[in-house]
Amino acid sequence: MDEEGMVSDDNNTAVKKNPKLTVLPLIALIFYEVSGGPFGVEDSVKAGGGPLLSLLGFLIFPLIWSIPEALVTAELSTSFPENGGYVIWISSAFGPFWGFQEGFWKWFSGVMDNALYPVLFLDYLKHSFPIFNQLAARIPALLGITVSLTYLNYRGLHIVGFSAVTLAAFSLCPFVVMGILSIPRIRPKQWLVVDFKKLDWRGYFNSMFWNLNYWDKASTLAGEVENPSKTFPKALFGAVVLVVLSYLIPLLAGTGATNSAPSEWSDGYFAEVGMLIGGYWLKWWIQVAAAMSNMGLFEAEMSGDAFQLLGMSEMGMLPAIFASRSKYGTPTISILCSATGVIFLSWMSFQEILEFLNFLYAIGMLLEFAAFIKLRIKKPDLHRPYKVPLGTFGVTILCLPPALMLVLVMCLASLKTFLVSGAVIIIGFLLYPTLVHAKDRKWTQFDAEQPPLPINNSMEDHLDESHSQLHQEVQDEASVGLLSNLSNTTTKQESSEILLEEDLKSD
């Protein structure tokens, strides 16, 4: 350490030592990775032909989707507490090729998801400022929002984390007020309305899925979390409760206290609901809250995407430049790369982006569930600071309902989505051998050695030296040979597994 609060990297560049994420900031980041508030759930009422299916969806879907994904994320994030998250899980279970594909699909899906938030922000503003319906005003606004929020992300993850706490509180307050004001007007029979003739299953499932996914995204920041074995499970549980309530309360208030037709419920409509229930002051408050919420959504997604690229670079999957950090500790090139993707995708419509990112995300999640089960079978002695309290058969049953939901979302996709997603998958298949070739030819610098996965405080307190070494060896195996010379990869992995089996037997 050069001076207090500063550390040096390999290039002798002073980098600020930023504090790790604790429970409350991590809850806020997960909340914004997944939800950010009820902004964007309006389409579920329209696509569902009325309030009934929307309300039932936000009661039932968390049980069959959100909770299983959060449990899987909690176990694997604490087992592999490093930046890179699900890329490490897949690599450990199925090898570096599929780990790279997972990373590419989820990064591309994340960038597409991030492109939604400037669009959604302007969709709320256009209710009061129709000028944002015109491209001449819309394009500069999208660029300005993206650039300014990218700079905030560059300034440091701890700033993003505590900003997310403030933004979450501010963006949810008007809906608490709206819920209270709506009580005298509530007519429960309004909640039971459903018109099956106007039911759009594709739009309904895509809306529900998008509003309840990305629980695993926070795993890409695992290396930036303080004491992840305790922090992750608590933060995930808190975030699940917060997300479900942030959807149900505004929907119960808005659909129960107004006579709005389901066809009127589209992006940004909660601002109009606020005006009907409380007046113009509440409409403006909701619009400002929407702006703040979309800032938080953008920042959380950008952080996840950028640190995922950093983690892949540290594993040798991407050139070393993606792991370079600014003086604020943030991955500069990775942030710029993600921001560029957002700018190029922002011209698409909300529904187009939604369907594309859902399809790619679904493929990646199927691979994650498979890796979760495979690691339970392949590495039963892997140190799991938090473990889902089920055996192999139990976790298989746990993953079955969300896996069926993922398949359903993919089957409902349009032909255009199949074509675009197919092109992204083909690019990923071609990109991996290209990067291997670039590394062999030394066209660019890759990290030669894999960084050891840190052992957290709880492990140091409760594990003796021999178990700590075993844990380190098991974790190191997840990173062996990632994008190393192909001729040596298989031999190294086999040798590591043989040594691991001998150690386990000796114990």
Concatenate the DSSP letters of all residues of 429-473 into one string. Answer: HHHHHHHHHHHHTTSS---SSPPPPPPPHHHHHH--HHHHHHHHH
Residue 111 and residue 113: Cα distance in Å, rounded?
A: 5
CA gyration radius, the chain: 23
Given a cut of 60, is residue 342 above it in pLDDT? yes
CA gap 139, 342 in Å, rounded: 13
CA 506 – CA 256 distance, rounded (Å)? 65
Please determine, for residue 12, whether its predicted confidence score (pLDDT) is greater than 50: no
- Phi and psi dihedrals of 95, rounded to 5? 100, 165
* 302 in Cβ contact with 215 (< 8 Å): no
pLDDT at 467: 38
Tens digit of each residue's pLDDT (9 = 90 or more) over 384-439? 888 888 899 999 999 999 999 899 888 888 888 899 889 999 999 999 999 988 88
Confidence of residue 120 (pLDDT cuts 50, 70, 90): confident
Class of residue 240 by CB neighbours under 10 A (exposed 0-12, middle 13-18, buried 19+): buried
Output the pLDDT for position 182: 93
* Tokens read off for 462: 């409760």
Comparing 24-33, 60-69, 408-417, which segment has the lowest mean pLDDT?
24-33
CA distance 319 to 329: 18
* Phi/psi of residue 193, nearest 5 degrees: -75, 130
Domains of the chain: 16-382+390-440 (1.20.1740.10)
Structure tokens at 31: 């909340």
Q: pLDDT digit string (tens) for 477-488?
A: 333 333 333 334
Instruction: Report whether pLDDT(304) > 50.
Output: yes
Residues 127-175 pLDDT 10s: 667 676 666 666 777 777 777 777 766 665 555 556 667 777 888 899 9
pLDDT at 19: 62
| Rounded-to-integer distance, Cα 322 and Cα 286, Å | 38
Nearest CA among 490, 482, 492 for reference residue 313: 482
Q: Which helix (H) or strand (E) holds 8?
A: strand 6-8
